[in-house]
Every structure is written in structure tokens, then in C-alpha cells.
Amino acid sequence: MDDETGFLSAVRRDPADDTARLIYADWLDERGDPAGRARSDFLRLELRLAARPERGLNRARWLHELRTLAAGLDPAWLRTVSHPALEACRVAFEFECPRRWDRLTPTADEDRRFCESCRRHVHYCATLDQAREHARRGDCVAVSLALVRRPDDLLPPARGAVTGGPHVTIGSVLAGRLVAPARVADPGPEVADRPPEPPRTPPRRDRGRNRNLQRENWEEQE
């Protein structure tokens, strides 16, 4: 196989076949041009990350390098060959979805693949606006690795800015729970409108005792 179109077709037919990616990377290296080298470096680095899922300084550095490479590559090419994780999957309320974009079943629409675990379609998004819109509809998404990400960046800004309500994060949504801050109980309008109570007067027996003490003091003076 000596045509790049043929390599990409092989990856589309079986996105989970990493051997086809390595052969494709070797072919890109043999071409010797800078564009081919950038694609080859991306393919090899992403496969290295997939083989080393544990966290660490090397992984953080590799992720930065991968994002830098992806920023200069064709979005359609990235959609075909990359391994983005799945996000905003509501089925993750019940279990952690182990799927990646490259592990999904291809469909006639290159921007959409089928997840055999949750029996739903997953949408590939080249922009955060696309990803937010699909997440708002309840769709599972795979976001381009070329984008600079921030925590909770798939949430609409208005929801994150609400004060006094539950604090919603992507982590809490995927975990199926909301974390609400402590609140002071509302006394209700019937309590808030109630007039203040008058000061309490001493019990009658206390006033009688005071009068007896005053009489005794007056008799002693006499």
C-alpha cells in the first residue's frame, strides 16, 4: 500500500487496528517531508499514551506535545486517526464507560460512530461549541485533541454561574451526583412577616417578693 488514501481507508474500516496506524506512520516517515513527519509523530505519540494510561510527569508532557502537534494538523485527518476519550455519556451514571473514539463502530457519517456499550451514537466535535450543543442535547461526544481544554468546559456558562444552587461539574455529572452547599432553612413568609414579640415581664411572684423586700427595708429605717 503506497497511497495515503489507502492507509486512511484501512483505519476507517477498523479504527481499533493500531498496527495499521504504525505501518502508516512508517510510510509517512519514508516520505521525509515536514508535514508527513508531524503526522507520524502524532500517531506514534498517541499510541504511546494509549499504552501508558497511568498518570505522571511524562504523561503530562506527552499530552502537551500531542496537543501542540494536533493544533497544526487537518481536523478531518484527526477525526479519522485520533483516540479522544468519550465525554458527557449519561450511561456513565451507572458504569464508567471504557470506550474511546477509535473503539467505536464506524457509520456512514464520519462525524458519528456507534457505541456498542450504551447502544447510542457518539458525535465527533472539532469545536467546543459543537461539543457543548451535543452535550446539552444529552449526546455523548469525542472532542478533538487539538483543542485547549479546561475543567467543566462542556457546561453552559450560565449554569456554572448560578449562585446558591447545586455546584455542577463534569466530574459530578459523570458520577451521577450533584454536590449542594449547605443552606440555612428559609423561615417562610408567615415567620418573616410576624411582628416582634413584646418584652417579657417578670412573673407575678417575683414582683411580690420585691415589694416584701422594700417593706422590710422601710421598717428597718423606721
Q: Residue 11's closest CA among 73, 76, 102, 98?
A: 102
Burial class for 142, CB neighbours closer than 10 Å (0-12, 13-18, 19+): buried
- Alpha-carbon distance 88 to 155, whole Å? 10
> Which H or E element spans position 105?
strand 105-106
| pLDDT score at 10 | 92
The pLDDT tens digits of the residues spanning 112-132 come to 999 888 888 999 999 999 999
The pLDDT tens digits of the residues spanning 163-221 come to 333 333 333 333 343 333 334 344 444 444 455 555 565 555 555 555 555 555 545 55
Neighbouring residues of 120: CB distance < 8 A, sequence distance ≥ 6: 91, 114, 139, 140
pTM (predicted TM-score): 0.56
Give the pairing of strands 105-106 and 112-115.
antiparallel
Q: In this structure, are residues 127 and 149 in contact, taking their beta carbons and an 8 Å threshold? A: no
So where are the chain's domains? 1-81
